[in-house]
Structure 1
Amino acid sequence: MNTYYYVHTGHRIGLDRFRRACTIMRLLKDEDITLLCSDFRIAQVASEFGVEKSVGIDVVRNIPQISHNGDKIIFDSDEANPIMLDEMRKYFSKFIRVTDNKDDKKENGEFLVSPYLNEADVCNVVVIDDKYFEKEEKTIELSFFFGDDDYDKQFEKNFSLLDGLNPDLLLGFYYFFDYEDMLKEKFKNNHEFEDYDNVIKKSKILITASPQAALENLASGGKPIYIQRKDYSRDSQELFKKLNIPTVENYENRQLLTILEGLYNHEYYKVEHNSNYLKEFIKENLNL
């Protein structure tokens, strides 16, 4: 009987789920778990994120080509419809699903990890790696991270968002070479994808369209401002309201500047550090 972790990732949806998956995989580093990614490129470099075993499988329907009936899985994706999810609950002997949807419900035959639900067989946590709770000196006054994906070059189309500002730029994983070159020309203070952790932890203020990056910067003692992308789910909105993370809509420069002007007196709420609780929940319910 094998244990798997499937995560939906790719050049059109970014790495937020992948970073969350790697956090959980590192918590379970003593267990034999194989990470299944819907993108081959990130699967090839997963070892750099502390994941020993990873396989690219292209699409969610290829999971049975790797696994067997009765295996166990952690599932982080919104690709599957209710029928497919029901089939998976029956196919796997243990099924843990990670969700961001505040309207989601726990179904029979599964366990849930959710920042919203608080009931039996649900682990009510925000998944953030331990390293972001280790406070470091903030040496970057203002940084901007659009995200790891920008296939349609939305950032380029909305440069006016940052008018009047001069942030450090953190580049994304799935950017095209010519796009990276152009961004480096425009933003003299830029950081490569490999500097992600350093930028997130050392930024006093982080402007970002990545929900996971916003949460990680908050945990590290920073002041994140979230940019709601039009092509991204709004599932994080309720959580950000709870944590009092400001949100900018429609790439509005004036709204962003107003938030920045009031940030000194803005009170962020603490995000809980619950990695031990999460670890024990998963190990207990996967019988690891």
Structure 2
Amino acid sequence: MNTYYYVHTGHRIGLDRFRRACTIIRSLGDVDITLLCSDFRIANEARHFGVDKAVGVDVVRNIPQIAKHGDKLIFDSEEANPIMLDDMRKFFSAFIRISDDTNDKKEEREFLVSPYLSGNGICNAVVVDDKYFKQQEKTIKLSYFFGDDDYEKDLEKNISFIEDLNPDLLLGFYYFLDYEDSLKKIFKNHHEFEDYDDVIQKSEILITASPQAVLENLASGGKPIYIQREDYTTDFQELFKKMNIPIIKNYEKCQLLTTLKTLETREYYNVEHNSNKLQEFIKENLNL
């Protein structure tokens, strides 16, 4: 009986779920678990994120080609319809689903991890790695991380939104080579994808369209500002409002400037340090 973790990731949706998956897998310690990624490229890089076993499966329907009936699965994706999810609950002996949907509900034969819901069989938690709770000196005044994916080059299309603020730019994982080169000419202070942790932890103010980066910067003692992309889920808006994290929509420059002027007096809520609770929940319900 094997344990798997499936995560939806790729060049059109970014690495937010992947980063969350790696955080959870690392928190489980020496548990034998295989990460299944819907993108082969990041599966090959998973070892650099502390995950020893990772396999690219291309699409969610390929999971049964690797897993067997009776295996265990942690599932982080919005790809599956209700019928497919019900089949998974029957196929796996234990099934944990990660959800960001405020309107979600726990179904029979599954366990749920959610920042919104609570109750029997549900772990109410926000997933942030322990390393981000170790405060570091904020040596970067202002940084900009659009995200790991920008297939349509929206960062460049909306460059006026951020350019004259002269932020440090953190490049994303799926950026094209020619795209990276053009961005480096615009942003003289730029950081490679491999510097992600350093930039997130050392940024006093982080402007980002990555929900996971928002949570990690906040845990690090920073002041994140969330950019709601049109092509991204709005599921995190309610959570960020509860944490008093400013949300900018439609690249509204005036709103961003006003937010930056008032940021010093804004009271952010702390991210709960709940890795132990999450680890215990997963191990108990997967019988690990």
Give 1:224's aligned residue: 224
Alignment pair present for 1:212 and 2:212: yes
Please state how far the C-alpha of 1:29 moved relative to its aligned partner.
2.5
Aligned equivalents of 1:19 and 1:204: distance in 2?
A: 21
Cα deviation code 1:131-164 (max 9, x no counterpart):
0000000000000000000001111111111153
Q: How many corresponding residue pairs?
A: 288
Give 2:170's aligned residue: 170
Give 1:198's aligned residue: 198
Aligned equivalents of 1:11 and 1:186: distance in 2?
A: 23
Aligned equivalents of 1:156 and 1:185: distance in 2?
A: 12
Query: What SS does the aligned partner of 2:278 have?
Result: helix
Aligned equivalents of 2:165 and 2:198: distance in 1?
A: 21
Cα deviation code 1:149-208 (max 9, x no counterpart):
000111111111115301000000000000000000000000000000000000000000
* 8 Å contact from structure 1 (residues 96, 113) kept in 2: yes
Aligned equivalents of 1:221 and 1:94: distance in 2?
A: 36
Query: What SS does the aligned partner of 1:156 have?
Result: helix
Query: What SS does the aligned partner of 1:262 have?
Result: helix
Cα deviation code 1:3-43 (max 9, x no counterpart):
00000000000000000000000011211000000000000
Give 1:44's aligned residue: 44
List gaps (5 residues or longer) in structure 2.
none
Query: What SS does the aligned partner of 1:150 have?
Result: coil
Please state how far the C-alpha of 1:121 moved relative to its aligned partner.
0.4
Query: What SS does the aligned partner of 2:164 have?
Result: coil
Give 1:186's aligned residue: 186
Give 2:261's aligned residue: 261
Alignment pair present for 1:67 and 2:37: no
Give 2:239's aligned residue: 239
Alignment pair present for 1:81 and 2:81: yes
Give 2:271's aligned residue: 271
Give 2:282's aligned residue: 282
* 8 Å contact from structure 1 (residues 163, 253) kept in 2: no
Query: What SS does the aligned partner of 1:224 have?
Result: strand
Give 2:107's aligned residue: 107
Query: What SS does the aligned partner of 1:29 have?
Result: coil
Aligned equivalents of 2:219 and 2:17: distance in 1?
A: 17
Cα deviation code 1:60-83 (max 9, x no counterpart):
000000000000000000000000
TM normalised by structure 1 equals 0.99
Letter in 1 for 2:226: Y
Give 1:136's aligned residue: 136
Work out the percentage of aligned pairs sharing the same amino acid: 74
Give 2:156's aligned residue: 156
Give 2:24's aligned residue: 24
TM normalised by structure 2 equals 0.99
Query: What SS does the aligned partner of 2:108 have?
Result: coil
Query: What SS does the aligned partner of 1:169 have?
Result: strand
Letter in 1 for 2:266: H
Aligned equivalents of 1:198 and 1:163: distance in 2?
A: 22
Aligned equivalents of 2:45 and 2:136: distance in 1?
A: 27
Please state how far the C-alpha of 1:118 moved relative to its aligned partner.
1.0
Letter in 2 for 1:125: A
Q: Which sits farther off after the overlay, 163-172 or 216-225?
A: 163-172
CA RMSD of aligned residues (A): 0.5
Please state how far the C-alpha of 1:95 moved relative to its aligned partner.
0.1
Aligned equivalents of 1:40 and 1:83: distance in 2?
A: 26
Aligned equivalents of 2:255 and 2:280: distance in 1?
A: 42
Letter in 2 for 1:136: Q
Letter in 1 for 2:106: K
